[in-house]
Structure 1
Amino acid sequence: MLWLSGPAGTGKTAILQTISERCYANDGGEFLAATFFFSYRTPETRSLRYLVPTLAYQLAQRIPALAIPILKATRADPSVFKKNEDAQMRALVLAPIGEALRAGSSKGWPELIVVDAVDECDPEMVKDDDCSGARFRLEKEKIQRRVLDVLLPERAIRAFFNDASHGTMVNRITLDKDWSPDTDVALLLRCRFRTLCQQFGIADGVWPSEDVIRFLVKRAKGQFIYVATVMRWIEEAEGSSLQERLDMILGWENTHGDEDNMNPFQHLDNIYRRIISSCPAPSTSCLWLRIVHFLSTANFPAFVVDRFLGSQPGDVERVLGCLHSLLSVPENKKAKRYRFYHLSLPEFLASPSRCKDLYVSDDVWINYFVLRYLAFVRGGSLRNADFSIPLPDLHCISPSEEVVVAMLDFDVQTWVASAIANDDAQYCCWNFGNLYDWVHSQCPAVLPCTQLCRKWQTEIGEACERGDWTAPKRHARTIKGRYTDRFRKKRDTSVASVQARPSPSKVFLIILAVALLGAWCAVVGRSHFGKNVGDDATM
């Protein structure tokens, strides 16, 4: 196993993509067995649940001897896709490989499996026990596959790869200064500038000077994302010349100097701040970028995001129009999503120390999101997309005064009824419970609930009852619980009656409790009766 690690923006994914493409193209794919590239950009590529089924499918395609065993495994247990990753790995990969090896040789099988950026999947899914299970499978099953992992040094992943018990099973390459990244950064800069010169008829070698190349290489600090961002900014020059754009970059960097040597992204952050500051309303741009990131990672196409944000015609272009060097804007907005060019931008926006005066706190953007959500639902003629939009987790912030006023004026019952009729149970459960809990979390512990809480509690409950959904009957006064799992569609009566039957173990416990209670009553009764008889005899 080879672990390729390094800071963000150093080109790890590009290296793996190149290796995969060349392995597939040069030898007809005889060396490449399977690949999986994690990415924060879509729910499918940031979830661990798709990893094993995808690898199993590719192995079945690439290795004919595995196709039948893998197919048999899925037919024998169709529920395997709902099981955890360890069970899936054993059923869909290891057991079929073992069966195929017992039936014949593995000679000629592809040997390379590429897994990229496990750190970009949902954080709660990458745990220490997942890594220990991976080690057990590699050592005990003795499956000889070459696995190339590209990861950032997250804690659980780092602990797994640094475990000395692996011996020589794991090799490591760290993309740091020892690999002379400056040479590659300079090469990339020269290639991109040469392309620009050819496009605009500038003689080769005239522009820019080698001093400029060296300056930008020094600022990049081995981060290719810095080069990519700078070049997109220069290439998209509108209303100014290429040299003017380049001078802006050089001027920004000279202004900031080396003010924050502890921040490895300081020069990239300078570029981000300057590009965003060139917008007509920089703070609004940062606010919208945080919402764009949230909705895009929830897989909503760009036109839905535009509808959600654009309260007036032209607002989206005014706020986001200067940010095309940071944000990929699709031509077909109904089919494609907005896409950040690199994860470092949303990380920058979420960090007050990096974003500085442009920082938009969670309180601000989430309250604004709720306001837009209420307005979107109220003015969206209750279309399907209105109800599939999930709200951010609200429990860590307080509603602003503007949000409280809007929620007091909101037609809760129509919203709930329409959402239930839309039959999207997942988002109904989350949004109902999220808002239900949020308004109650603002109530005093020992005093009656606020007007806002009473309104939403009553109207959600009544609308759910009419829509044949369950809802909490009342709030606990002193405990602020989470209610996202308390809203659900009522089950069919016949099914519910069957499922409502207590299990044999519960029946046994009930009988045992009754028997013990009866025995205790009998003992107490005999004692009391004996005492009375003794008293009577004395008399």
Structure 2
Amino acid sequence: MESSSRAALLQDAIRPTISGNAQVINAGHDVVLHGSSAPPPAGLRDLLRPVSNATHTRAGHVARCDPGTRLKVIAQIKQWLNSLDKRAAICWLSGPAGYGKSAVAQTIAERYAAKGRLLGCFFFLRGAGERSHISRLIPTLAYQISLFVPAVKPLLEKALRDDTDMLGPSVSLAHQFQKLIIEPIHSTTSKVLVFSHLAKQKIFIIDALDECNDKAETAAFIDVLLNAFPGRSYLPFRILLTSRVEEHIRKKLDHSEAHHLDLENFDARSDIQAYFKREFACIFDQNCQMMQRIPKPWPSAKDLTELLDKAGSSFAFAMTLIQFVGGDSMPHKALQQLLESGADSLDPLYKKVLSSASRTAALHHILGTIMILEDNQSISFISSLLNLQYEEVIHELLGVQSIIKIPSHDNQPIMLYHTSLQDFLTIKSRSDQYFIDPPLQHLHLAIHCLKHLAKYTSNDFFEGDVANYASFNWPHHILLGFQRQQCYVDETTMSSLETLIENLLTFQGNTWYNTILTVEVYKKLRMLSCVRDGKDLFQVSYCNFQMVHHTLNMYKTLQGSIITKNLTRLFEQVIDVYEVRVYN
């Protein structure tokens, strides 16, 4: 009876459907449907929340190897992947920023995705939200596996519903990797031919591991990977990692069985040459009317050689150079400008790079420090001296990586691709808004040195490379800061110097003196081993301390309008203490 009533009410409807607990009520001319239905269960995508813009199919500009380039690197990765050696289940591709690690990873990902051998990939990017958090890596890889092998999907859904805290912060990466990667793959190995030992090895690609925000978690994840393979008879996949050689990564992988490929060991000159030839040909074709009188080949063999010398092994520099030339309305003149023999030939390129970089105070201080230090220093050294987070220094330098070589190792120095960058930045007529004033930068570094020493608790000696540098060089930076007679120093800087020096001598004077005396003894012992003339320890020590006394005495010249009487008094106090130490 109820069914016939419903049918009568809806007799004029087109293909009506009534399901569940829906109730049909006749309210005059209106028919009202009342009902309730439970929300559909969350799908796997909702459960895992994969980072869609971290895969090889992400939108926007994506770096990849140009045709005919990086062939040797790609061939070695292919050889590793197809190897029968079970111990080399992980391949680590390392290299400095700008050398094309991500381009290689993208190219490998696209090629093996087309061959049906890519299980999953993740391209980290510092400061890009979830792409910089390692907590999103395993869920994203797990979701990609479910797309590659649908039989994995119900296994993942069950694992997540059985343990609702699986993706929470209290669950270890090792447990997640076991439940969301290893066990689902093992459960489907016997059922799916694609995972059998007869099929070709599959691959996971994890790019830019050094761009994860949490170093401790990154190191823990590497342990997870290394522990996933020993003792297992077979796992049907291999893992390609790429990164700079940061210390927390190097310590884990250096002494492991991971296969290591270093991009610095591959000559990129022929690859960059092929890139130049193709890109310059495109620029010529796009401007054929403008350049119809320019003789071919363009650029000439001689000019191409000079461009290759400028680029070195940096694809980032090569790409910036191409963008500069190709973006000009008269490309041939832009190229000629870069090839001119004058010291300022690269100035337009430097301005282009810096105009696209961040204009933060941090970048200005970082660049200023790199420009005026007598010796090239590492990222760790500079971050500690300037009291910046290591990741912040990396982030700022990545914006100028086409003109500054970011080293692949933590303990390697930051280098300029061309020394002309130092001249450009420290000559106002050339750099204009990007100018770095050396005397003022020296004074800022003196302040950073003194602040670094002030952080130490009372000890017999200052320890560490940065502390030793600060101990010896804060007077040096002050001297260079005041060497220009018309140097204007603001009152805040002067006051900071006075306060910091006063505090050093008052609260840490003995620690500072002991540190200098100890290092001088070490230098003296090295000197003794060289001269071999039998001078006794005390005589050489006396000479060394006399040299220190003479050096410090130079600061008596820093008087008048440039330096306050208080600073003069403080330097004289240093000299007086040394006189007591030396002569007593």
Whose helix fraction is larger, Structure 1's or Structure 2's? 1
TM-score w.r.t. the length of structure 2 is: 0.44
Larger Rg: 2
TM-score w.r.t. the length of structure 1 is: 0.48
